[in-house]
């Protein structure tokens, strides 16, 4: 067991995170994976984040009390045949008792992992992870198998190839905090398996990280803590869709967390590894890549600067001019977030890249969310133009003049009576404050 890492992570579980950015529901893409037909229940998961309990919690998994645990001694090797026979009993209490003893044995140093594997009991243990079985049995079994996976490379592969990882993912949907916390303890082993030469194993592990990262901020912290990020980013370049897709989804979940979590991914040269994905032949890969970029540009000014310096703005604008609508929608979020969260200097650069006309053009689309983010960007741009004109003493808002060339007033007038109140409110504000004769007359007087 990774006791030092666990204690560190348990401390992190007490902290609650804020500064969350918009996250995308990835269940549609995840459900396409036939091997893992799991329906995520977000409300239940969020409640579990506030119900963290110790392993010996009778309310959750009917685990034996701490006093009984202390009474149990570490079984000897001579007792192993009896334990392995006992877990096959028809008496459920005998099964539980022998599983607990076996778990204590494999948790010790120099435990006879090879003997357990050689006895052919792995298939039985894998079977014990099924959701129909008692949660106490699933809990002890997961602990045992996690320890078996922490052995040699050969031992790990034997356990994994029998289907341990997909069954481990099922624990995330159990609604039991203790079972979910057993999955967290397996993270160091899972991280090491990302470097496997078995592509099926890598794919399963990547999907596991995707599910775990979907659980919330504390789980993302655990993935970061156990150094999975660098390998996940390298796997973005893998040509196999079954590896590239879950790796990308996991990174997407992480950058939808707080600013620190996003930065931890950027520090591993994410932006250099994302570029070629925008040219991928699969639209779902390109859309997910743009979602990642949009969450980065919804971050800090330094994170927006990193996107700009990596040369993404001109690429995004090219997508907005020439690509299909489903891809353009995601690209529009990248650009709007960069404008709304960026500095005046950054916004000026984005406008120099010929983005202003695009914001005006996409006001004519019918989707309210996209109209709203275009309006938000235009509000920021006009405010910057106003501030700069006043600073220069000219009182001529150059960005307003450019918008007038694109006949924006007609579009704003239509939006001023839009059925969505947030849209009509912003449209009326822009008309009243920037596109009236009175405003121009005041400027000329000064």
The size of the chain, in residues, is 446
211: three-class secondary structure by DSSP: helix
Q: How far apart are CA 303 and CA 243, in angstroms?
A: 27
Predicted TM-score (pTM) above 0.95: no
Closest by alpha carbon to 117, among 91, 86, 139, 148?
148
Q: How far apart are CA 195 and CA 161, in angstroms?
A: 15
Q: What is the pLDDT of residue 241?
A: 95
User: Tokens representing 135?
Assistant: 């949660």
Q: How far apart are CA 57 and CA 70, in angstroms?
A: 15
Angle between helical axes of 301-309 and 312-322 (0-180°, round to 10): 80
Q: How far apart are CA 54 and CA 48, in angstroms?
A: 13
Q: What is the pLDDT of residue 72?
A: 66
Q: What is the pLDDT of residue 409?
A: 95
Q: What is the pLDDT of residue 429?
A: 96
Closest by alpha carbon to 192, among 182, 202, 184?
202
Q: How far apart are CA 235 and CA 246, in angstroms?
A: 10
The pLDDT profile of the chain, 446 residues, written as one tens digit per residue, is 444 444 344 343 333 223 334 444 434 434 433 343 333 333 333 333 333 223 333 344 444 433 344 446 888 888 888 998 999 999 999 999 999 999 998 888 778 888 888 767 888 899 999 888 889 999 999 888 888 887 787 888 888 888 888 888 888 777 787 887 788 778 888 888 898 888 988 998 999 999 889 888 888 998 998 889 999 999 999 999 999 999 999 999 999 999 999 999 999 999 999 999 999 999 999 999 999 999 999 999 999 999 999 999 999 999 999 999 999 999 999 999 999 999 999 999 999 999 999 999 999 999 999 999 999 999 999 999 999 999 988 889 999 999 999 999 999 999 999 999 999 999 999 999 999 864 444 444 34
Q: Where is 125: in which H helix or E strand?
A: helix 122-127
**Whether the Cβ atoms of residue 60 and residue 95 lie closer than 8 Å to each other:** no
CA 245 vs. chain centroid, Å, equals 13
**Which of left, alpha, beta for 245 (phi over 0: left; psi -120 to 50: alpha)?**
alpha
Buried b (16+ CB within 10 A) or exposed e, 65-87: eeeeeeeeeebeeebbeebbebb
**Whether the Cβ atoms of residue 61 and residue 179 lie closer than 8 Å to each other:** yes
Q: How far apart are CA 365 and CA 373, in angstroms?
A: 12
Q: What is the pLDDT of residue 158?
A: 85
Q: How far apart are CA 25 and CA 41, in angstroms?
A: 11
Radius of gyration in angstroms for the set of CA atoms belonging to the chain, rounded to a whole number = 28
Measured CA angle at 51 (ends 46, 54), to 5 deg: 135
């Amino acid at each position: 067991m990774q006791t030092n890492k666990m204690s560190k992570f348990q401390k992190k579980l007490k902290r609650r995170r804020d500064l969350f950015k918009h996250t995308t529901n990835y269940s549609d893409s995840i459900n396409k994976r036939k091997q893992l037909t799991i329906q995520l229940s977000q409300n239940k998961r969020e409640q579990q984040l506030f119900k963290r309990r110790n392993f010996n919690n009778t309310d959750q998994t009917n685990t034996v009390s701490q006093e009984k645990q202390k009474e149990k001694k570490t079984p000897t090797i001579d007792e192993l045949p009896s334990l392995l026979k006992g877990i096959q009993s028809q008496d459920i209490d005998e099964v539980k008792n022998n599983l607990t003893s076996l778990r204590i044995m494999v948790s010790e140093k120099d435990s006879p992992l090879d003997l357990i594997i050689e006895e052919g009991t792995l298939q039985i243990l894998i079977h014990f992870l099924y959701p129909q079985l008692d949660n106490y049995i699933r809990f002890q079994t997961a602990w045992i198998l996690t320890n078996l996976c922490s052995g040699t490379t050969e031992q790990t592969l034997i356990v994994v190839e029998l289907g341990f990882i997909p069954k481990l993912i099922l624990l995330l949907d159990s609604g039991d905090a203790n079972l979910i916390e057993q999955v967290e303890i397996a993270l160091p082993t899972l991280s090491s398996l990302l470097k496997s030469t078995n592509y099926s194993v890598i794919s399963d592990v990547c999907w596991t990280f995707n599910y775990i990262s979907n659980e919330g901020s504390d789980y993302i912290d655990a993935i970061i803590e156990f150094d999975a990020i660098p390998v996940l980013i390298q796997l973005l370049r893998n040509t196999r869709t079954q590896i590239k897709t879950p790796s990308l989804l996991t990174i997407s979940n992480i950058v939808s967390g707080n600013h620190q979590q996003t930065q931890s991914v950027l520090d591993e040269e994410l932006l250099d590894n994302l570029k070629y994905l925008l040219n991928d032949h699969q639209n779902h890969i390109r859309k997910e890549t743009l979602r990642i970029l949009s969450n980065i540009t919804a971050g800090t000014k330094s994170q927006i600067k990193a996107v700009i310096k990596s040369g993404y703005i001109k690429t995004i604008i090219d997508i907005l001019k020439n690509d299909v609508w489903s891809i353009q929608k995601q690209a529009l979020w990248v650009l709007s977030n960069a404008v709304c969260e960026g500095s005046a200097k950054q916004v000026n650069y984005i406008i120099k890249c010929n983005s202003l006309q695009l914001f005006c053009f996409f006001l004519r689309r019918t989707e309210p969310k996209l109209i709203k983010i275009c309006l938000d960007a235009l509000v920021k741009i006009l405010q910057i133009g106003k501030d700069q004109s006043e600073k220069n003493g000219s009182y001529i808002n150059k960005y307003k003049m450019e918008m007038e060339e694109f006949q924006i007033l007609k579009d704003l007038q239509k939006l001023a009576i839009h059925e969505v109140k947030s849209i009509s409110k912003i449209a009326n504000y822009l008309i009243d404050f920037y596109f009236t004769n009175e405003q121009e007359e005041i400027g000329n007087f000064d």
